[in-house]
Amino acid sequence: MERRDFLKTMAITGAAASSSTALFSGNAEAAGTLDIGEVKSVKIDVLSETSWFSNDNLKKSMLDYGGASTNQYTIPWDADNAGGYSSLITVTTLDGKDHKILMDSGWSNTWMDYVYEMHGIPRMLRNGEIEFMVLTHWHLDHYWGIESTLKHNPKIKIYAPATHYPEDMALLRDKAHHKATDKEGKQVPICKNDVPHTGELVLCSTEGEKGEGVYKPLPGMAIKLFDVPILLRVRGENVLYFNVKDKGIVTVTGCCHPGILSLFSEARRTFKDYKPYGCYGGLHLTLFETWDPKFDDVIRGVKSFGLQKVACNHCTGWLWAEKAAEAGIPIVKGTDKYKSYKRQSAVAKATNVFLTNGDTVVF
Amino acid sequence: MSEIVANQAERKNINVFFGLINLAVAFVVVSGLWFVFLHPNGVMALYTPMYGFSLLVAFVASIVLISKVTDFYPFAGPSLGTVSWGLVRTIAAVAIMLFLVYGFFWGFIGRFGITYFSPYSIIAAGGVGAEIFNARENASTAIVYLLTAFLWVALTWSAGFGQWPWVGVQRGPAALARIGIVGLLSTIAYVVLFHPHVCYLFFPAQTMAGVEPWWSKWAMTSSAYYNLGLLLSILMWVIVSDVLWEGYPWRIVDRKGQGNLWRGLFTLIGTFVLGILSFMALLAAMNIFWLEPFEGGQYTDAPYFRYLHAGEISTFVALAAFIVKTYFGNLVNGPNIWVRAALRTVAAAIGGTLFYLFYYSSLSTFLLGKVPGIAQPEDTPLVWTLLFLSVVLIQADFFAGWPLVRKEK
């Protein structure tokens, strides 16, 4: 209705508004037809959502070396500030069988080795219990810790965005040791991988497998690539959708660069009998704990979808999560388990509106 | 003012081939300037994006201040030649830009009046997000908005009201009077159209300083990109009618060609209506490509992006209009104003389309160092367009078209 009000307002001051109305009423809400099946439940263990420990430190590196559009491989990042983003997803299919998926591999190998040990990930990788890995996107904090995963299972099947750069592929396959030049002209090591990936690599494109726009590694699960431009010269993000029986669609993201409402909207356009139920992941909103009126738009938009569970962390920003909770969005609260990790994010707060390190959510 | 006549001048004798060479040289100059000042991996890397954006808007505003508002006072006269005056005016525009951003906004208004115009005052005030990167982006956002309002008012005044009501007044006092009226109206436009957004850039929102964005209900966004896109769409028609249509149809009510109240009002209302129509048409076209946007959507799904993008497209066309006039002598010079205006407009639309295709091409990704794709939140083509526009305006207005156009003896 508000859209119509907008058009009516325009009509007062400009002719031809009525003829444009037909054009504005697009088919954004057209229902999808793709049936991906169902799963019984989805459990997500947050291995680490702390991609870096200090926002100020990270921002300073970006600011000093060209800003948000700079190539991430040209910035001499502070290794001591590096953490990583990674989650373990356990999907229970309708036959009662559990399937484990690793989502992302973090940034610092030191941090990721520590986090993986805490959660028994090395063993699960070695014995094949983790069936495959989904790389959501090629950002440093999701990908540069790839050695921590591959050294336990270099043959693991990986779903990754097809929108990669040569440096990305060199790190995955060619034992690359990337360095960046600092202001003094010194070469600073920024990431490395001595264990090349030898397993199947599924490069996800927007066409998907069979031209359906998605990849379906398990019944009830779909991976969809959103080919969007992202800061630090990265492109494209894989998003995971699960259709949980009797509940609805659960959207799982790494950073949600395409925008959470866009993910919901795409699901509505794509999946048969779309019913939103929940979401998990970084929502890429008040990333650096700063506000903008467009974040108010997102709160209003998310509310309109009527989700039952919103579990967020990482680049969502505590500020947005707190305001969203105040506005009545069903934010899944975290616990104090993150304090058992040897390091914590500088922005973690007692409000626990983040599902943070060591926490679990079940959909 | 004299420019109101100059801008409507009939086709000059410009060789199309030399025009093309001049345009190519201008493009190379723009690319060089981009690498030095804005390229993320260039020398100064100011495209953050809002910081570089604010400097570019301030530069274009300085050019417009000298050429349109003060009518080159005191940078004109027989004491210097075309090239010398061009250099003096260019240096003056750079100096005004630096003064506006660092002196007037950061050092004066932001320090003694309105906190958000100075990054240092924002940091000193403390609170969420009060660090240099974010503070500078927020202060730059406010400067971009205010100076966009200035450009709209200044160019509309120049195209419509012209010398009114100071016809016959000496150049100095008339220039000061125009600075006063344009400054006043720009401030009012800024306060209504943009200030509420800036007040909501902070947490908690500065509710005692600004109202909640009043357009959010129907625009489906609290972002003032709604007003920015609309204003840029209107501005495109101000420029197109002034540059390509020789001041028509507004000059029908102005027999002397100096500008008057009725022509001013006609221009104001006419360009407003045309701007709304083109704004809506562009939004409708985007709906066909990207389907309908929705509240809270991001990237191409974001209502605020659609509004901004309409403004970005309009600015591509405005740039093309200046190029059609400056480098190609307005191309068509038939006896019928409506025919030649229409053909020139088509040429500008084609030029704008070519700029659009270039900006989102792989070549631009390489040259400008930007992330490929549309709607990246850290990227707006307005910055590149303004840089190009400033180069064209300097040649056209400050150097009187030299070396492409030689002074007639």
pLDDT tens, residue by residue, A128-163: 999 999 999 999 999 999 999 999 999 999 999 999
Q: How far is B136 from chain A (nearest CA, A)?
A: 11
DSSP A226: E
Residue A27 has pLDDT above 90, yes or no: no
Q: What is the pLDDT of residue A2?
A: 47
B131/A59 Cβ within 8 A? yes
Q: How far is A30 from chain B (nearest CA, A)?
A: 10
B323-356 pLDDT tens trace: 999 999 999 988 899 999 999 999 999 999 999 9
Residue A24 has pLDDT above 50, yes or no: no
Instruction: Name which of B256, B241, B273 is nearest B155 in CA terms.
Output: B241
Is residue B403 domain-resident? no
Q: How far is A8 from chain B (nearest CA, A)?
A: 9
Q: What is the pLDDT of residue B78?
A: 92
A260/B222 Cβ within 8 A? no
Q: Which of A66-75, A135-144, A296-305, B260-269 has the lowest mean pLDDT?
A: A66-75
Q: What is the pLDDT of residue B12?
A: 57
> Is B128 in the A-facing interface, judged by CB distances under 8 Å?
yes
Return the axis-axis angle of helices B303-328 and B261-290, rounded to nearest 10°. Answer: 120
Q: What is the pLDDT of residue A288?
A: 85
Residue A10 has pLDDT above 90, yes or no: no
Q: What is the pLDDT of residue A67?
A: 80
Q: Which helix (H) or strand (E) holds A58?
A: helix A55-64
Contact of A278 with B117, CB cutoff 8 Å: no
Q: What is the pLDDT of residue B9?
A: 45
Q: What is the pLDDT of residue B8?
A: 45
Q: What is the arithmetic mean of pLDDT over A322-342?
A: 95
Q: What is the arithmetic mean of pLDDT over A351-355?
A: 92
Best of B133, B298, B361 to substitute, by most chain A Cβ atoms within 10 angstroms, is B298
Q: What is the arithmetic mean of pLDDT over A11-20?
A: 38
Residue-range definition of the domain harbouring residue B365: 2-395
- When CB atoms are compared, the residue of B222, B280, B299 closest to A10 is B280
Residue B249 has pLDDT above 50, yes or no: yes
Q: What percent of chain A has pLDDT over 70?
A: 92
Residue B158 has pLDDT above 80, yes or no: yes
Q: What is the pLDDT of residue A11?
A: 41
Spell out which residues of chain B touch residue A137, defining contact as CB-CB under 8 Å.
none
Q: What is the arithmetic mean of pLDDT over B79-107?
A: 97
Look at chain A and count its residues: 363
- Report the first-to-last Cα separation within chain A, whole angstroms: 33
> For B175-178, which contacts have Cβ atoms below 8 Å and span 24 or more sequence positions?
B175/B69, B175/B70, B175/B71, B175/B73, B178/B69, B178/B70, B178/B71
Q: What is the pLDDT of residue B334?
A: 85
Is residue B340 domain-resident? yes
Q: What is the pLDDT of residue A363?
A: 98
Residues 176-235 of A with CB under 8 A from B: 227-231, 233-235
State the Cα–Cα distance between residues A39 and A362, nearest whole angstrom: 12
> Is A66 in the B-facing interface, judged by CB distances under 8 Å?
yes
A313 confidence band (pLDDT: 50, 70, 90): very high
Q: What is the arithmetic mean of pLDDT over A44-55?
A: 95
Q: What is the pLDDT of residue B48?
A: 87
Q: How far is A140 from chain B (nearest CA, A)?
A: 16
A304/B296 Cβ within 8 A? yes
Q: Which chain B residue lies closest to A320 (C-alpha atoms)?
A: B203
Number of domains in chain B: 1
* Mean pLDDT for chain A overall: 91
A29 confidence band (pLDDT: 50, 70, 90): low
Q: Which chain A residue lies closest to B372 (C-alpha atoms)?
A: A229
A14 confidence band (pLDDT: 50, 70, 90): very low
Q: Which of A341-350, B152-161, B309-318 has the lowest mean pLDDT?
A: A341-350
> Is A311 in the B-facing interface, judged by CB distances under 8 Å?
no
Q: Which chain A residue lies closest to B36 (C-alpha atoms)?
A: A66
Q: How far is B202 from chain A (nearest CA, A)?
A: 5
Q: Best-predicted range by mean pLDDT among A70-84, A346-360, B9-23, B117-131?
A: A70-84
Query: What is the sign, positive or negative, of the torsion defined by CA atoms of B42, B45, B50, B54?
Result: negative
Q: Which of A7-11, B127-131, B199-203, B208-212 has the lowest mean pLDDT?
A: A7-11
Residue B408 has pLDDT above 90, yes or no: no
Residue B4 has pLDDT above 60, yes or no: no
Indicate the CATH number of A32-362 among 3.60.15.10, 3.30.413.10, 3.90.1580.10, 3.40.50.10070: 3.60.15.10
B47/A67 Cβ within 8 A? yes
Q: What is the pLDDT of residue A323?
A: 94
Is residue B409 domain-resident? no
Residue B213 has pLDDT above 70, yes or no: yes
Q: What percent of chain B has pLDDT over 70?
A: 96
Is residue B405 domain-resident? no
Burial of B408 (0-12, 13-18, 19+ CB in 10 A): exposed
> Is B200 in the A-facing interface, judged by CB distances under 8 Å?
yes
Q: What is the pLDDT of residue B386?
A: 98
B58-90 pLDDT tens trace: 999 999 999 999 999 999 999 999 999 999 999
Q: What is the arithmetic mean of pLDDT over B180-193?
A: 98
A79 confidence band (pLDDT: 50, 70, 90): very high
Q: How far is B279 from chain A (nearest CA, A)?
A: 10
Q: What is the pLDDT of residue B369?
A: 87
Spell out which residues of chain A touch residue B213, defining contact as CB-CB under 8 Å.
293
> Is A291 in the B-facing interface, judged by CB distances under 8 Å?
yes
- When CB atoms are compared, the residue of A229, A288, A319 closest to B376 is A229
A103-134 pLDDT tens trace: 999 999 999 999 999 999 999 999 999 999 99
Is residue B406 domain-resident? no
A213-269 pLDDT tens trace: 999 999 999 999 999 999 899 999 999 999 999 999 999 999 999 999 999 999 999
> Is A90 in the B-facing interface, judged by CB distances under 8 Å?
no
Q: What is the pLDDT of residue A30?
A: 61
3-state secondary structure chain B: CHHHHHCCCCCCCCCHHHHHHHHHHHHHHHHHHHHHHHCCCCCCCCCCCHHHHHHHHHHHHHHHHHHHHCCCCCCCCCCCCHHHHHHHHHHHHHHHHHHHHHHHHHHHHHHHCCHHHCHHHHHHHCCCCCCHHHHHHHHHHHHHHHHHHHHHHHHHHHHHHCCCCCCCCCHHHHHHHHHHHHHHHHHHHHHHHCHHHHHCCCCCCCCCCCCCCCCHHHHCCCCCHHHHHHHHHHHHHHHHHHHCCCCCCHHHHCCCCCCCHHHHHHHHHHHHHHHHHHHHHHHHHHHHHHCCCCCCCCHHHCHHHHHHHHHHHHHHHHHHHHHHHHHHCCCCCCCCHHHHHHHHHHHHHHHHHHHHHHHCCHHHHHHHCCCCCCCCCCCCHHHHHHHHHHHHHHHHHHCCCCCCCCCCC
Q: Which of A32-41, A319-328, A346-355 has the lowest mean pLDDT?
A: A346-355
Residue A7 has pLDDT above 70, yes or no: no
**How are beta strands A86-93 and A98-103 bridged, if at all?**
antiparallel
Q: Which residue has the tokens 């009187």?
A: B400
Is residue B352 domain-resident? yes
B219/A297 Cβ within 8 A? no
Residues 6-25 of B with CB under 8 A from A: none
Q: How far is A230 from chain B (nearest CA, A)?
A: 6
A20 confidence band (pLDDT: 50, 70, 90): very low
State the Cα–Cα distance between residues A30 and A32, nearest whole angstrom: 7
Q: What is the arithmetic mean of pLDDT over B43-60?
A: 95
